[in-house]
Structure 1
Amino acid sequence: MKEILNVDEDMEQILRKMEEETGLFCVRERNENLGIQTLGEYCYFSLGKTSRELREQGFHFYKSKDVANDYNGPKPSYSMTHIKLLYSSDYTILGVQMIGKGNLERRYEILQTFLSEGKGLKELAEYSIYGKSLEEEMDILNLSAFYAMEVSRPLISVEEVRGLQQAGAFFLDVREEEEHEYARILGSKNIPLHSLVRRMSEIPKEEKVYVYCRSAHRSLDAVNFLRGAGYDNVYNVEGGFIGISYEEYTKDKERKREKIVNRYHFE
């Protein structure tokens, strides 16, 4: 097994799961001019600093992980793409890591330019990736930048979920009932996003509430709504249930420990 270079541990766990799915691990240059690596049918890259490097250098930084369907650009893969953004308090981009099935070259080039010029999330959110207006074609890079600026509000990482679940914390799943039944954090409460208004009385105000969905988008809407309704102790779970599944699957398998989910779900 070859070493995966210059990615954070959480992103490496995603790649290891993909390696297991493909039964193949071959790291090579996808393009001689670009640092895009391949792992079976998947591609990934890392630009700028990693979390470890920023911590070692004493930087104070923020991070955001997003999972989105890749449906834009000249060769959409229509598959899940993972994006991790590292940025400063003024939203300057410090590092980015991306994993997907294809269509990464243009995004790599743009992010490389943004990093070299010291540009920030607001500029990335408004940047036309393929020369079209955002109304015509908003790319996952735009969405991830918007999301990163939003999640600077209270949130927890997937690494914190296990400890909180084992301590009996209140987890709120705002996905649809069938999604919750299929795969969920054990002990979590299910109130679909569209039902929050009429079922708010079921959510405690006196304790912390950790909100999750599939990929942390619906949960962000729920957190914003609840905070506006007077809930001060609500937190979004970064990466959603997909992120939780990748985090838990790898470590559960390595450590042979009990699961905190009834089933992993990676899509």
Structure 2
Amino acid sequence: MDTWLIILLASIVIILLLVVNGYRNMKSVKPLTEEEFKKDLRKVQLIDLRDKEKYEYGHIMGARNIPMMNFSMKMNSLRKDMPVYLYDQTGRLPYRAGKMLKKAGFKDVYMLKNGISKWTGKIKSKNK
């Protein structure tokens, strides 16, 4: 009986730690709707976190491709005095990238809620 109680308590602690860590990641980047995201695209650093092939297939006009697997090495090329707008396919990677940017001293970090998969604005691709 004591073993089950210990397992239950350990499980609860692990779940709480995962929830708290997820919340911290979410605080590092502010999600924006498509309308909010579109508003200032010319005044921000727009970063596509997807791999090169997906970027070339179609990306938001003006976006720069920094794949997530290279992000920690290339994020130093971003300016801290300008907002950073991040997006990927579904809206997961910007939380990780945002956490790295906040740790490096970036203040204004935003992401496209739900990623480019729901984007209705203009798309630029290699074929067009």
Q: Distance in 2 between matches of 1:147 and 1:214?
A: 19
In structure 2, do the counterparts of structure 1 residues 229 and 149 end up closer, same or farther at CA, with 3 Å as the change threshold? Answer: closer
Percent identity of equivalent pairs: 24
Tell me which residue corresponds to 1:262: 124
Tell me which residue corresponds to 1:202: 77
The match for 1:243 among 106, 118, 124 is: 118
1:243 deviates by 2.1
Q: Which runs of 5+ in 2 are unaligned?
A: 1-14, 16-20
Q: Distance in 2 between matches of 1:149 and 1:229?
A: 15
1:147 deviates by 6.6
The match for 2:93 among 218, 222, 237 is: 218
TM-score (norm 2): 0.70
For the residue of structure 1 that corresponds to 2:47, the secondary structure is strand
For the residue of structure 2 that corresponds to 1:155, the secondary structure is strand
The match for 1:181 among 56, 78, 99 is: 56
Q: Distance in 2 between matches of 1:168 and 1:234?
A: 13
The match for 1:232 among 83, 107, 119 is: 107
Structure 2 letter corresponding to 1:213: D
Determine if the alignment matches structure 1 residue 159 to structure 2 residue 35: yes
TM-score (norm 1): 0.36
User: Could you say what the CA RMSD is over the residues aligned between the two structures, in angstroms?
Assistant: 2.3
Q: Deviations over 1:54-76 (max 9, x none)?
A: xxxxxxxxxxxxxxxxxxxxxxx
Q: Distance in 1 between matches of 2:23 and 2:91?
A: 11
After superposing on structure 2, the runs of 4+ consecutive aligned residues of structure 1 that deviate more than 6 Å are: 146-149
1:150 deviates by 4.9
Q: Which has the higher strand share?
A: 1
Structure 2 letter corresponding to 1:262: K
Q: Which has the higher helix share?
A: 2
Q: Number of paired residues?
A: 105
Tell me which residue corresponds to 1:82: none
Structure 2 letter corresponding to 1:162: K
Q: Which runs of 5+ in 1 are unaligned?
A: 1-125, 127-145, 249-258
1:149 deviates by 8.0
Q: Distance in 2 between matches of 1:149 and 1:233?
A: 16
1:223 deviates by 0.7
Q: Distance in 1 between matches of 2:119 and 2:22?
A: 18
Q: Deviations over 1:5-24 (max 9, x none)?
A: xxxxxxxxxxxxxxxxxxxx
Q: Which has the higher contact order (CA 8 A, sep 6+)?
A: 2
In structure 2, do the counterparts of structure 1 residues 150 and 199 end up closer, same or farther at CA, with 3 Å as the change threshold? Answer: closer
